Structure 1
Amino acid sequence: MDPNNRWVVLINQVPWDDLVSLFNKHTPPKGTGRPPLNPRVLIGALIIKHILNLDDRGQLPRYM
């Protein structure tokens, strides 16, 4: 990967371990059901969503 890519640069700036610890602290593990997604994937998706100003469907919001 290109080390100058904006997402690669961002990866190196995010305190992943701190965020995952905080996420896990507020979302206790479940004993049943489907295994949870990796918290880094969830956190990364939220960061990208907000940086690109996307709605929950991945589209730019329409303003009136």
Structure 2
Amino acid sequence: MYRKEEQPLPPPEKFELPFEGKLSPNNRWVIMAELIPWDDFEEEYAKLFSAEKGAPAKLFRMALGTLIIKEKLGTSDRKTIEQIRENPYLQYFIGLNCYQQEPPLESSMLVHFRKRIDGELINKINKKIVKREIDKSDKEVKKKDCLQ
């Protein structure tokens, strides 16, 4: 069964923390979260699940985000979940709306994420990111040319 997120994710400065403060928009995890076209691949990921059986699936952002965190930090599955539990930036990165003390998922879920998110999908995501950044750069160059 697949569950679509009910409400949109807040911008980083609105992410609720259990203490005073806000997430910095300059943090590497916030910046990377903005680069990845999560929504563009949510539907494709959802097609991998049955609507009739099984527990609701985790969202694509949580699945891919957790795998990215694991790779970037070079940690085991268990340590990755521990890092996510402790770090509000990582919780924001995987799509949580506010900081939570409890781990958002079990480390055993990473095995399932790796089975479903293959190299072909990662390549599609990378191509989309590169294309979007090139398009954005082209628009900036054209805008600059028009101003001169």
Q: TM-score, normalised by structure 2?
A: 0.35
Q: 2:37 aligns with which of 15, 18, 30?
A: 15
Structure 2 residue ranges without an equivalent (≥5) = 1-22, 81-148
Q: How far, CA to CA, are the matches of 1:53 and 1:31 in structure 2? A: 36
Query: How far did 1:57 drift?
Result: 1.9
User: Does residue 1:24 correspond to 2:46, yes or no?
Assistant: yes
**Structure with the greater alpha carbon radius of gyration:** 2
Q: What stretches of structure 1 move > 2 A for 4+ residues in a row?
A: 17-25
Structure 1 residue ranges without an equivalent (≥5) = 60-64
Percent identity, please: 38
**Structure with more relative contact order (C-alpha pairs < 8 Å, separation 6 or more):** 2
Please identify which structure carries the higher helix content: 2
Across the aligned residues of Structure 1 and Structure 2, the Cα RMSD in angstroms comes to: 1.9
Query: How far did 1:8 drift?
Result: 0.4
Deviations 1:27-60 (A, max 9, x none): 233411211111111111011110101122217x
- Tell me how many residue pairs correspond in the alignment: 58
